[in-house]
Structure 1
Amino acid sequence: MTIDVREAYRRALDDFGVLVHRIGPGQWENPTPCVDWNVRALVNHVVSESLWVPELLAGRSVGEVGDIFDGDLLGDDPPKAFDAAAMAAVHAASAEHALTRVTHLSFGDVPGAEYITELFADALIHTWDLARAIGAGERLDPELVEACAAWFAGAEEGYRQAGVIAEPQPLPPDPDAQTRLLASWGRRA
Structure 2
Amino acid sequence: MAADDAALSALARGLDQLARLLAEIAPDQLDRPTPCEDWTLTDLVDHVVEGPTRAAKMMRGEEVDWSVPAPAAGADPARAFRAGADDLLAAWRDAGEGGSPMSPDWQSAEIAVHTYDLATTIGHPTGDLDAEVAERGLAFMQANLTADNRGGAFLPEQPAPDDADAYQRLAAFAGRTVPSGGGR
TM score, norm. by length of structure 2: 0.80
Q: 2:106 aligns with which of 118, 122, 131?
A: 118
The superposition leaves residues 16-73 of structure 1 with CA deviations (integer Å, 9 ceiling, x where unpaired) of: 111100001211121110011111211111121111133221122337xx99x74424
- Matching of residues 57-96 of structure 1 within 5 Å: 57-62=59-64, 70-96=69-95
Alpha carbons 2:47, 2:70 under 8 Å: kept = no
- Aligned residues of 1:57 and 1:98 also touching (Cα < 8 A): no
Aligned-pair Cα RMSD in Å: 2.8
Residue 182 of structure 2 corresponds to none
Are residues 145 and 2 of structure 1, via their aligned partners in 2, closer, same or farther at CA, if it must alter by over 3 Å?
farther
Indicate how the Cα distance of structure 1 residues 155 and 74 shifts in structure 2: closer, same or farther if over 3 A, else same: same
SS of match in other structure, 1:4: helix
Partners in 1 of 2:160 and 2:52 — Cα distance?
A: 32
Q: For structure 1, which segment, 26-35 or 169-178, has the greater mean C-alpha deviation from structure 2 after superposition? A: 169-178
Q: Among the aligned pairs, what percent are the same residue?
A: 31
Shift of 1:154: 1.0
Q: Deviations over 1:67-102 (max 9, x none)?
A: 9x744241232222222222212221232437723x
Q: Which amino acid in structure 2 is aligned with residue 136 of structure 1? A: H
Q: Give the structure 2 partner of residue 25 of structure 1.
A: 27
Gap runs ≥5 in structure 1: 102-110
Is 1:50–2:52 an aligned residue pair?
yes
> Secondary structure of the residue that 1:172 maps to in structure 2?
coil
2:18 alignment partner, one of 2, 10, 16: 16
* Corresponding residue SS for 2:145: helix
Which structure 2 segments of 5+ residues have no match? 180-184
Give the CA deviation at 1:124: 0.7
Superposed CA offset, 1:154-183 (max 9, x none): 112067542321121123346554443322
Amino acid at match of 2:173: S
Maintained 8 Å contact 1:128/1:138: yes
Deviates more, 1:26-35 or 1:145-154: 145-154
Counterpart contact for 2:113–2:167, Cα < 8 Å: no
Amino acid at match of 1:41: D
Are the aligned partners of 1:131 and 1:138 in contact in 2 as well (CA < 8 Å)?
Answer: yes
Residues 1:157 and 2:159 are matched in the alignment = no
User: Matches of 2:98 and 2:30 in 1, distance apart?
Assistant: 35
Corresponding position: 1:41 with 2:30: no
Corresponding residue of 2:134: 145
CA shift in 2, pair 1:53/1:149, >3 Å: closer
Q: Is the 8 A contact 1:53 1:92 kept in 2?
A: no
Alignment-mate amino acid for residue 109 of structure 2: A
CA–CA distance in structure 2, aligned partners of residues 47 and 159 of structure 1 = 28
Q: Which one is further off, 35-44 or 128-137?
A: 35-44
1:128 match: 116
